[in-house]
Each structure stands twice: as structure tokens, then as C-alpha cells.
Amino acid sequence: MNLKLLKALSEAFGPSGFEEDVVKIVKNNVPFCDIEIDAMNNVYLSLKSNTGNKPKLLLDAHLDEVGFMVQSVAKNGLISFVPLGGWVPTNVPAHTVHIKTETGELVQGIIASKPPHFMSEKEKSAPLELESLQIDIGASDRETVINVFGIQVGDPIAPHVIFNENSKSDFVFGKAFDNRMGCFAVIETLRLLSTIEELPYDVIGALASQEEVGTRGAHVTGQVTAPDMAIVFEGSPADDLYYDAQTAQCVLGSGVQIRHMDASYVSHRRLINFAKSLADAHEIPYQSAVRRKGGTNAGRLHTSGKAVPVLVLGVPSRYVHTHYNYASLKDVKATIDLAVKVATAPVQKLSID
């Protein structure tokens, strides 16, 4: 498993609409694919062995991470921002970020928080509003922020976190596991499939932009690729710390998550059953999940064209939509292994006669 690639993907700057750095990393790591990039930063990866006369299997993941955008710069040099994607306000303060300027420079800042010494009891107990937060880049006036650091209204902002592997476990730590874990799984699955001489499908990877702000990239990739079947890879929110063993459905170290339902789609039962049968036959650990909330690119893809059977495979990831994540390499491997088994199995008839 290429941990250097996983590290690069995790650390890359890439909030919704500003995925260019992630695209460059992908472009440099897929010699086994023909690559196309559209005007929206969507990336299309076609195996060089594709023939054009087989059913098309789409491997989907989204490139973007949750982030922010500069909205204004105050007289004292503090920067107001708006969210790109879903954040819980209390998770945001007192963490470091990078602001990417027009020239591509990454400026480090900290999301400012008032020390308790200066807070009234009323302030301490009041709900935190995202609109009240500001970023301090180490300047004392608006002119310095704009003229010296080059920061402008509209500049994108992303968490700044260094990836590392825990030497005492198989856990990895970093940012943006939702969904750089999915991007990594797509690339690794394509790499493994490229070594197989005869595949039942023409396989296309589509790494979509702007999922976190409305699955917008997948609206395009579904139309462009027109797949017969799709696998959506996600860094799925781990729930192992919040529920008991009978209730939790996204546990680190327990295998790939097979998602049956969320707010964006209801799974294709025959495809789910087929994937589970392959996992059982090859002893690939998995866990089934029914989600009350959330969604993935499957919501867009399964209603594209004449309808597309979609399988959602998740890598359990703790603390998604925050600065910091944990995931288990065992689960990453299980996700890739199951995807390869689905992609190499004989084409299934998934419609009703």
C-alpha cells in the first residue's frame, strides 16, 4: 500500500471548488490510466486496457474537503470567513488553517478564540456561531493582510494538518479522510486492476469536485461517463465511540462499510447481496450500515442516465468534517480488496426480467 501517496493526498490543499493541488497529485500517480480533467476539476481515469465494447464500471470518489472562504478583512487584520461544506461551529476555533492566495502561496493562520480570561459567564455559556469566528494570520491591520500577505476576498481556506502513521497500531492520522481515503482507494483499485489481463468491464475512475457543497461534480461525471454500474468510495463517519457494539455500524478495524441507505439514496439490493457474497467467500471483513442522515455521490449517480446500480463502500474515519481524522489501514485494505473482487467478477444481471 502506497502510504506516500495517501500522505500526499491527505495533506493536499483542496476545499470545494479549489481541488487543483489534489488533481496534480492524482495526475502524477496514475501511469496505468489515460487521464482527462474538465473545467470543474473533475478527473477521469480510464484504464489503458479499456476496449470500448464492454459494460462500464465507474469508480467514484470526491476530491474536495470541507473548508472555508475569505469573506472580509477587518481593520485590525482579522479575517472573517464562510464555510465550504458542513461544520459544527464548536469544532472550528483554535485550529490552524492555510489560506491560499491568488499567487498560490499558502498563508498559515489560526482560527481565533477568545481566552476565558476575557469572557463573561454569559459568553461562556452562549451557543457559538460560525459567523462570529475570525482568522488571525499574525498581522495587526487590514493593509498588512492585503498588501503584504496578498490575501483577498474569495481566497479559499483549508485545515493544515500533517499526516502520520501510528507505529504502535495500524491507524493513520491526518486531515480530509473524507474523502482522500476514497481517492486513494480508487487509485489503488485501478492500479491492481491494471495488472489483470482480461477484465469483464471497461473501468473508469471519476474523482469528482464539490461533493461537500452539493455533489455538484458527480452531476457532471455521471453524465459524461454514463456507467452501467458504479462503486462509490467514501471516508465514512465512524460511530464506534458513540454507540455500543450492537448499534455501531462504522467501527475502525472492523472492515469496509457497505452502506444500504442514507439521506441521498437507497441501495440496489441485488448489488449489495452480490458484494456481500463476494466478501464472505473471500473472507473480506465488512460491516453493513443504514444511515439516517448524510449522503454521497451515489445520490447523484444512481439517478443518472437510465438509472445506475451503485455500491457504496466506506472507509471508517473518525471525526470527519473536523481538522483531524483517524482511520485503520486494515479497513482501507478491505475496501480495496472488495472493490477488486466486484470489478473482476462476471458481469451480473441486476435488472428485473
Supply the pLDDT for residue 7.
Answer: 98
Residue percentage of the chain with pLDDT more than 70: 99
**Longest Cα pair distance anywhere in the chain, in angstroms?**
71
**pLDDT-derived band at 331, boundaries 50, 70, 90:** very high
**pLDDT-derived band at 172, boundaries 50, 70, 90:** very high
Nearest to 323 by CA among 98, 95, 137, 136: 95
The one-letter code for the residue type at 27 is: K
Residues 6+ apart with CB under 8 A from 24: none
* Surface-to-core class of residue 146, CB atoms within 10 Å of its CB (0-12 exposed, 13-18 middle, 19+ buried): middle
Of 3.30.830.10, 1.10.3720.10, 3.40.630.10, 3.30.450.20, which CATH number belongs to 3-65+175-344? 3.40.630.10
Render pLDDT for 267-319 as a digit per residue (tens, 0 to 9).
999 999 999 999 999 999 999 999 999 999 999 999 999 899 999 999 999 99
Render pLDDT for 124-156 as a digit per residue (tens, 0 to 9).
888 889 999 999 999 999 999 999 999 999 999
Of 2.40.30.40, 2.40.50.140, 3.30.565.10, 1.10.760.10, which CATH number belongs to 67-159? 2.40.30.40
Q: Once rounded to an integer, what is the mean pLDDT over residues 313-333? A: 98
pTM (2 decimals)?
Answer: 0.95
Nearest to 327 by CA among 319, 316, 313: 316
Supply the pLDDT for residue 352.
Answer: 63
* Surface-to-core class of residue 241, CB atoms within 10 Å of its CB (0-12 exposed, 13-18 middle, 19+ buried): exposed
Q: Does 67-159 match 3-65+175-344 at the fold level?
A: no
Give residue limits of the domains in the chain. 3-65+175-344, 67-159
Q: Once rounded to an integer, what is the mean pLDDT over residues 174-184? A: 98
Is 143 one of the annotated active-site residues of the chain?
Answer: no
Residues 6+ apart with CB under 8 A from 298: 60, 230, 232, 259, 264, 265, 310, 312
Distance CA 60, CA 260 (A): 17
Question: Would you call 155 helix, strand, or coil by DSSP?
Answer: coil
Render pLDDT for 220-261 as a digit per residue (tens, 0 to 9).
999 999 999 999 999 999 999 999 999 999 999 999 999 999
Supply the pLDDT for residue 77.
Answer: 97
Q: Which long-range contacts (CB under 8 A, 24 or more apart) does 215-219 make?
A: 215/62, 215/264, 215/295, 215/296, 215/297, 215/299, 215/300, 216/40, 217/40, 217/41, 217/42, 217/62, 217/63, 217/64, 217/297, 218/60, 218/62, 218/297, 218/300, 218/301, 219/300, 219/304
Query: 188, 211, 212, 234: which is the annotated catalytic residue?
Result: 211
Residue 120, pLDDT above cutoff 70? yes
What is the residue whose three cell numbers read 447481496? Answer: 273
Q: Once rounded to an integer, what is the mean pLDDT over residues 329-334? A: 98
**pLDDT-derived band at 119, boundaries 50, 70, 90:** confident
CB atoms within 10 A of CB 274: 18
